[in-house]
A = this chain, B = another copy of it.
Amino acid sequence: MLAINARNAVPHYAIGNLAAHGDPIREGQDPLHAVGVERRYAANQTVFQEGEPNEHMFRVSRGVLKIFKTLGDGRRQVTGFLYPGDLIGLGAGVSYAYTAEAITETALVSCRRSKVEDLINRSPAVARWLFSVASTELTAAQDQMLLLGRKTAVERVTSFLLNLAERAVLRGEDSDRIHVPMTRYDIADYLGVTTETVSRTITRLKALGLIRLCPNNCIHLVDADRLTELSEDEGELSRTG
């Protein structure tokens, strides 16, 4: 996942940490922005829905969004939370495979897919960039599959919190006081559990003194090392808890 250093002379759609991919796309050279249009969305507003024709790619300038898939009977799976710098609409297919919805007030740079193709044709650097972004997403998706398929509730929640913290660092934010703008319901649908389980697990972590809930949807990670242990080995909880 890509992110930016928000404070900057260069506009907030700058690319940021792409250097991590060894790619020559640098801050202030967002290739999508050159050919795209910025659009704004209110909290809870839908950007596009699963099944609609897949005509645009988006890049998050400001705000947080979620993307999710839905089953006929209403069951949802949130497949990602998107932060500034992230791309939406990478997936293949003639129609979107998921719904995208703003969690906070949001600004996106929108770009027709045909223009993206043009960019790839004209610039190998852009091609490598997009390929590397998709590859990074793929790696993250595999981590999430491991979480959904094999991790316990405690491991899921701690993994989630640490993941938010990691991404906050990439955006140049504080890593142990993380902002959590999504609801328990969204988190539950992301982690493949219920809101009650998320709530109980957070309560438990709080009771263990590993985290602290602050006002404004903020969570203070008091003992990140211990949380890291819990994110990979539930057994730890009984041995020391």
Mark A residues whose CB is within 8 Å of B.
21, 69, 71-73, 75-77, 79, 90-93, 97-98, 117, 120-122, 124, 127-128, 130-132, 134-139, 141-146, 148-151, 189-192, 232-233, 235
Contact = CB atoms under 8 A, between A and B. Distances in A.
A142 B145 contact: no
Contacts of A76: 150
What is the interface of chain A mostly: helix, strand, loop, or mixed? helix
Contacts of A92: 21, 132, 135-136, 138-139
Contacts of A138: 90-92, 134, 137-138, 141
Contacts of A232: 71-72
Contact of A148 (B97, B135, B137, B145): B145
Number of copies of this protein chain within its complex: 2
Nearest to A193: B149
B90 A135 contact: yes
Nearest to A135: B92
Contact of A121 (B72, B77, B124, B145): B124
A230 to B, nearest CB: 12
